[in-house]
Chain A
Amino acid sequence: MDFGQFLYMRHEIILSALALIVLIMEISSDKKSKANIIPVLVALFFINTVAGFLPVETGSLFGGMYKTTALIILMKNILNAGVLIVFIQSAGWLKSNFTGNDNIGGYFFIVISSLIGMDFMISAGNFLMFYIGLELATIPLAALVASEKLKERSAEAGVKLILSAALSSGILLYGLSLLYGTNGSLYFDNIASSFQNNSLQVLAFIFIFTGIAFKISIVPFHLWTADVYEGAPVNITSFLSVISKASAVFILIILLFTVFRGIEGIWNSVLYFTSVLTMTIGNLFAIRQKNIKRFLAFSSIAQAGFIPLGIIGGSALGFSSVVYFVLIYLFSNLGAFGVVAAITNKTGKESIDEYNGLYSTNKGLSLVMMLSLFSLAGIPPVAGFFGKFFLFTSAAKQGYYLLVFIALINATVSLYYYLLVVKAMFINKNDVPIETIKNDGYTKLGLIICTIGIIAIGFAGIIFDYINSLTFGIK
């Protein structure tokens, strides 16, 4: 047997090794040396992220259960980079909140195991593998959300997350069982090639779509999102809203483009309506939010509504624009959450009104926040504009002009509420603004990476060209 083949799954192998290293460090360090876990882990994870980019052959393992392509490896690298930023941003929070007996290692272990689940889910070639990856990605997150043991909100958010996750995975599994009944196989390739387009398979697709839509928080399956995002610690909210959502988007688009290619007409109309609903409802609810975390939650719901614009029609250009959009969304949202985390963890203030006059005391934080919000809104010089631009282009190329028009209106509406926050920070007067916050090196580093990402990705055309070269020939 050729053990070199196992290098196909090097992302998962390195991450599993990291998870074991965390556990060993956790039990072998005493109270004082526990804080050392943070820099070691961040450094190791940086090596892991870099190692992910090394070119290695791709192929399939375990009889087709597991497969990688250059595109899937790119997706995993995007997730790795996002988690690296989350780790860097959460270092300050971990230092201040987890002291003594609380285990810092537990945080890293849970996040890394969740990431392993996402990686397995993305590169699954069989629905059994997909399901196990999905659960491994979701269940640890609930424990993480409920990890602030002294706060009622944290436990409440954890309950809401785990119950809606249980319901959604149950619905998804029911769809899988129906799909199995019509095909007799769970392998993606077999199902795709023997798709008969009968009504039972359409029903199965609806169930499976519902299950994944819960994870991406597409309207009408978004009701858990705002509560969980508000109750969870900020750094974990940023993980939930970016990494978890990005991985679900990736697997959704892979499933639609491969397994469910046979009922393209049906998923086009499903995506059409959910997209319009998600954009509109996400935007309308975001306007009336007073809490910055709930505000960002609804903004992330609205952002998820733009993603179907790339998937609809099923073109290769759409695929690459979705990956590109997710990459930009990752940097912009992590930038915004990084600022919110820096402020909330130091002062405990979460209301948008309390951000009034932030610029007078915290110039750097306000500027990063402004850039991130501009990028989320899609204002031209920053990367968010290009992300949305490619999504709209791909939908327009498929002839969905009305959908693009609705999306444009929604993008304008979103501009309004993003600018409300910018106005609060820069223009509104406040007698007692948030005091000047001294950030540690980690937080600064995390915000700088996000800022560079937001500005640079839009201008580096080579990135989109690279993604485009990977998706070539998908249709």
Chain B
Amino acid sequence: MIEGIQLEFFLILGTLVFFIGIYGFLTRKNLITMLMSAELILNAVNINFVAFNKYLYPENLEGQFFALFIIAIAATEVAVAVSIIISLYRRIKSIDVEKVNEMKY
């Protein structure tokens, strides 16, 4: 429990970060930036988990463990995604999502 800061603040922060992530994912044209937006979403989830854990259920650490696992798995996800993006970059010399349009409809 942190003096003077209520749970709601953390939840509002988490929600804001989550929707910034969604917005960024849907509007950005750069594949790396889209990946960063996906990371923002995961960090919003981490904030939520840790805040809920600390404020509402401090007797066990389930939420914090979950956050740790999310961080680890997000790293693997980024590793695979970046390697695929590099492989794509070698083909089309660009990471602009507008250029990734060989297949449509």
Q: Which residues of A contact B (CB under 8 A)?
A: 127-128, 131-132, 135, 139-140, 142-143, 146, 149, 152-153, 155-160, 162-163, 165-167, 169-171, 173-174, 176-178, 180-181, 184-186, 226-227, 230-231, 285
Q: Which of B17-48 contact A (CB under 8 A)?
A: 18, 21-22, 25, 31, 34-35, 38, 41-42, 44-45, 48
Interface string of B72-105 (1 = CB under 8 A from A): 0100110011011101100110000000101111
A–B complex contacts, Cβ < 8 Å, 17 sampled:
A131-B66, A132-B69, A142-B81, A143-B83, A152-B88, A152-B102, A155-B91, A159-B84, A167-B41, A169-B77, A170-B21, A173-B42, A177-B52, A180-B62, A180-B63, A180-B66, A285-B105
Residues of chain B within 8 A of A174, CB atoms compared: 18, 41, 44-45, 48
Closest to A146 in B: B84
Docked Cα-Cα span, A184 to B64, in Å, equals 12
Docked Cα-Cα span, A170 to B42, in Å, equals 6
On whether A143 and B76 interact (CB within 8 A), knowing A159-B31, A174-B18, the answer reads no
Size category of the binding interface on chain B: 35 or more
Q: Is the interface of B mostly helix, strand, loop or mixed?
A: helix
From A157, A167, A181, contact of B25 by CB (8 A): A167
On whether A152 and B91 interact (CB within 8 A), knowing A163-B81, A167-B25, A180-B66, the answer reads yes
Asked whether, in the complex, the Cβ of B35 is within 8 Å of the Cβ of A166, the reply is yes
Residues of chain A within 8 A of B48, CB atoms compared: 174, 177-178, 180-181
Nearest CB on B from A191, distance (A)? 12
Asked whether, in the complex, the Cβ of B87 is within 8 Å of the Cβ of A155, the reply is yes
Residues of chain A within 8 A of B31, CB atoms compared: 159, 163
Docked Cα-Cα span, A157 to B18, in Å, equals 26
Residues of chain B within 8 A of A170, CB atoms compared: 21, 38, 41-42, 45
Asked whether, in the complex, the Cβ of B21 is within 8 Å of the Cβ of A185, the reply is no
Residues of chain B within 8 A of A139, CB atoms compared: 76-77, 80
From A128, A146, A166, A178, contact of B65 by CB (8 A): A128
Nearest CB on B from A47, distance (A)? 30
Nearest CB on B from A461, distance (A)? 42
Docked Cα-Cα span, A149 to B91, in Å, equals 9
